[in-house]
Structures are given as structure tokens and as C-alpha cells.
Amino acid sequence: MRRVLALATLAVLTPAAAKAQCSITVKPVSFGTYLPISSVPADSTGTVTIGCHLFFGPYAVALNQGLFGRGNFDNRRMNAGSAYLSYQLYTNAARTLIWGDGIEGSQIAFGVCTGVCSASYTIYGRIPAHQTVSPGSYADTLTVTVVF
């Protein structure tokens, strides 16, 4: 008598899991020339743009304090050598809601994607008037974080 041992392999074929693809682009805030004698603040804008494909769900857009923020969002500063120029970034055109990471009273921008989405968020920047600063090219570097 022969015994036949048969091995059966069951292959369950499922479609490959769809992977979300998102891109983030930033147009920096550029203030141009700041005039310390001006009686009005210097305002400018930048943009964070989110684009996703095959993503379903909420996301949040946060900004850090910058390189020279001295530990909180109220003290964002640009640097030129040993000189500093204070500035701030906001989520609203009235420039009353500081854009940060959601702590210390700062705000985060939120969105929801339902498969395919594209959204732009304006960064409203302001340099307060009447700052006594040395001439120079002032800059700061911030990190934009998008949490999906």
C-alpha cells in the first residue's frame, strides 16, 4: 500500500496595501528691507502646501521656535552675526494667533484628507516696528512638521 503525502499550499493573494504619498512644500516668509524708523510693522507672508494621494484622515501642521527663539514662541528672532531682530509668525491674517506646535498658547493648522487632497496654509509674518538693529542680512531657520 502506498501512502501519498500531499502538501497543499494555500496562497492567499491580497492586493498590496495602498501606501499614502504626501508632499510638503514651503514658500518661506521673506520680509525684504526692514526700516527701523518706520512707524508700522513689516508684514509678509509665506505658504505651506500639503498634497496627498491615498491618504485618509486628519493631519496637523506645526512650526518650531526657530534657531534663535530662546526657548519659547514669544521670542522668535532672526540673526545677523551677533545682532538679533525680533519677528513673529501667525496662523491668521490679523496676526493674533502665533503659529507653533500647540504648546505655550501657540496654534497649529489642521486639515483632513479624504483620499486625494491639496491644501495651502498661509504663514503670516510680522516684524514689530521701531527695533534698533545693526544693518545686516537677518535670517532664521524653522522646521515645519506635518503629523499625519
Q: What is the CATH number of the domain that holds 89?
A: 2.60.40.1090
Q: Rounded to an integer, what distance in angstroms lies between the CA atom of residue 4 and that of residue 6?
A: 6
User: Of 56-65, 69-78, 104-113, which range is least confident?
Assistant: 69-78
Domain-located, residue 16: no
> Burial letters for 88-115: b for 16+ Cβ neighbours within 10 Å, e otherwise?
bbbbeeeeeebbbbeeeebbbbebebee
Domain-located, residue 14: no
What distance lies between CA 82 and its chain's CA centroid?
27
Domain-located, residue 4: no
Domain-located, residue 9: no
Domain-located, residue 3: no
Domain-located, residue 87: yes
pTM score = 0.85
- The pLDDT tens digits for 47-72 are 999 999 999 999 999 999 999 988 88
Mean pLDDT for the stretch of residues 81-109: 96
Phi, psi for 106 (deg, rounded to 5): -80, 160
Domain-located, residue 114: yes
Q: What is the percent of the chain with per-residue pLDDT over 70, rounded to a whole number?
A: 88
Report how many domains make up the chain. Answer: 1
Q: Whole domain around residue 57: which residue ranges?
A: 21-29+37-132+140-147
